[in-house]
Structure formats: C-alpha cells, structure tokens
Homo-oligomer: A and B are copies of this chain.
Amino acid sequence: MNQQLIFTNHVAQKLDELVAGMNPANVVVLVDSNVREAVIPRMQEESETIAKATVVVVKPGENHKTTDTLSEIWDQLIKAGVTRKSLLINMGGGVITDMGGFAASTFKRGIPFINIPTTLLGAVDASVGGKTGVNFNGLKNQIGAFANAETVIVSSTFFKTLPDSELWSGYAEMIKHGAISSKDHFDQLLKYDLTGRDYDKMLTLMEENVQVKSNIVAADPTENGIRKALNLGHTVGHAYEELAMERHSPISHGYAVIFGLLTELILSKNKAGFPAEEVDRLAAYVRKHYGRFSFGTDEYDRLIALMRHDKKNYTADEINFTLLTNIGEVEIDRTATEDEIRGAFDEYLRILS
C-alpha cells in the first residue's frame, strides 16, 4: 500500500479537510515538549482538528526514543479512549514520527496515523516510507515495524525556526535522493540556494525529492531489494556518526550522511566507473557547505569494525554497499574489501583537505 503524500504550505486547512473525510471517533496528537511549545498553540488556533484533539507530550531527543517512552504513549492512548476508529497524528521530527508510528501500529494491533514532519530531515526521510521503531539496549531502531502512515503532510512552513545546520542536515538526504534519481534533479539540488530560505521553492523541490523515496519504497516496502538504494552513503555515514559519538563530539545524522555519500561515491568511482568529475563536483559542494569530518589513518580499523556491526551488513567477510555507476544508476548488493575501503578513506581525506 502506497501512502498518500500531501505537499502544502496550508497545513491546518489541509489537515482539517483530510480528517473530516476520515471521520475518526477521536484524535490524539503526539508531540515532544519543543513542538508542544513552538507549534501546537498556533495549530490549535488554525485547525479545528488540533483544537479538539488530545495532546500527548513526550520528552524530546533521540535518548527518549525508548521502549519506556513507548509504554508511556500506549498508556496515554488508553487514557484518551483510543480505539481502531481513532486517529493518531505524529507531529515532530524523526524521533516522533518513528516512535509514534510504531506506537500506532502496535496499539490494538494497529490504528491509523498521520505524520506531519516539522524538520527537513523528517520531511524528506523518516516520516515517509513506513519504517517505524524505537531504540533498545542502546541499539538504534532495534525494535520496530514496517507500517505506513495513512497520509504524510509535508510542509516547509515549519522550517522557519530551524537553524541553518538543521536545514543542511536534512538537505544531505535530499542530495542522496538526487544522486540515486537523475542528473537533472541532482543538478537542481546543487544549484538551489538553501539558505536563501525561499520556502515555496523549497516545497517544490521537496515534492520531487520525496517522490524519489516514495517510489522506491512502493516497489520494495520491506527492503529485500531496490530499497537498499536509499542506503547509499549510509554504510560509511553511520560509521562516521558512531565514531563521532565515541569521541564525544557527535555530528548530526545528515552531516554524517553527506560525508558518507562522498566516500561511497569515491568507492563507486574506483569500483563501478562512477564519473570522477561528479565526485569532484560533490566534494567542492561538501567542502563549501558542510566542511570536513576528519579522522586519522589509525582510526580506519575502528570505522571498518563499526560498518561490520551495521545491521544491514552482516552477510559476508566483505562489506555490503550500494554503489552508483553514474548519477541515477544504482547497483545494490555490491561489496568492497577492507583495502578498497581504506583507499576510499585516503581519497576522501585528500579531496576535502
């Protein structure tokens, strides 16, 4: 089942229309305390749905994306009298849409839910595609389910209060979608002036971009094949993210992804004929807008060990990658040896220096 996507900068109005059509017995809105403060008061004025809804508030941040918070949410759903004829609206970043989607999909064996992402990263990635879940015993998204939102309402109006670094973090996933879709869209993304904050133009770009993910997910909802295309940049990216965590100077997910993407496109160049000039073009863009994530040659071993622990990479002595032969041309289930990966690290450090 494909999920409905609505792109709008009139969220309250679209939401009310949508919910009127669904006619739920009652509505609960799940937010974290930041969104409760920044978004809910205005939404309660503008949207009849939100005005009448029960608001469930959880603590913000990845460290509260746990089974404990999940139990709190279930408990609140019971207290709100939620049934299979009710509706849950998840309004927030990826933590809220991941956790709220999982809470909904497991409450009374599944109640309908709508996602309204309030961050760029959430809008172009977490809120779309049916991956829901929570962390468990320190492992990311260890417990979860594939469960589609009935509808995702995507808007750029929520981004007005986001700091630039948050925008760039989400934009990294957009660039990845560009890289696996088409030269046209990739070009468009690298040329767009993100920090100019033209929100209507941003919404138009997001519409094309989210469709890339949505189409891939529709073709392979449970990640047995082509959905692995979305993993481009993430094998190395996750390792960078975890290394940064271990050093107690974390980098945001999107930044890790853009550095991972560059490294994996170097690997694509060396192993799959990906054009060198595209690597150079992306490297220039990354250097200008994201800077550089640095590490020493003595940390290569640790990075490779971290890649091996990634849940998608347990199959072989070699490590699995999604590679590109060109922009928009994807090869899933490729592998690389440790030496090839070390070589890509060398080039990555050199090209960004």
Binding site for B on A (CB under 8 A): 25, 67, 71, 74-75, 78, 83-85, 102, 105-110, 131-133, 136-137, 139, 141-146, 222, 311, 314-315
**Known contacts A67-B71, A71-B67, A311-B83; is-contact A142 B105 (Cβ 8 Å):** no
Besides A83-B314, A106-B133, 11 new A-B residue pairs in contact (Cβ under 8 A), listed by A number: A25-B314, A74-B142, A78-B136, A106-B145, A107-B142, A107-B143, A108-B144, A109-B132, A109-B144, A110-B145, A110-B222
Chain B residues lying within 8 Å of A105, measured Cβ to Cβ, are 145
Chain B hits for A83, CB < 8 A = 311, 314
- Considering the complex, give the chain B residue whose CB is closest to the CB of A131: B109
Q: Report the separation of the CA atoms of residues A141 and B136 in the bound assembly, to the nearest whole angstrom.
A: 22
B108 touches A142 (CB 8 A): yes
Instruction: Give Cα distance in the complex from A311 to B83, angstroms.
Output: 8
| Alpha-carbon gap, A102 to B67, bound state (A) | 14
Interface centre among A108, A132, A133 (most CB of B within 10 A): A108
A262 to chain B, nearest CB (A): 28
- From B107, B110, B137, give the contact of A78 (CB < 8 A): B137
What is the chain B residue whose CB lies nearest that of A136? Answer: B74
Smallest Cβ-Cβ distance to A139: which chain B residue: B78
Q: Is the CB of B78 within 8 A of A142?
A: yes
In the complex, residue of chain B having the shortest beta-carbon distance to the beta carbon of A105: B145
Please list 20 pairs of residues, one from A and one from B, whose beta carbons are closer than 8 Å in the complex, sorted by A's number.
A67-B71, A74-B142, A74-B143, A78-B136, A78-B139, A83-B311, A83-B314, A85-B314, A85-B315, A105-B145, A106-B133, A106-B145, A108-B311, A109-B133, A109-B141, A109-B144, A109-B146, A110-B145, A110-B222, A145-B145
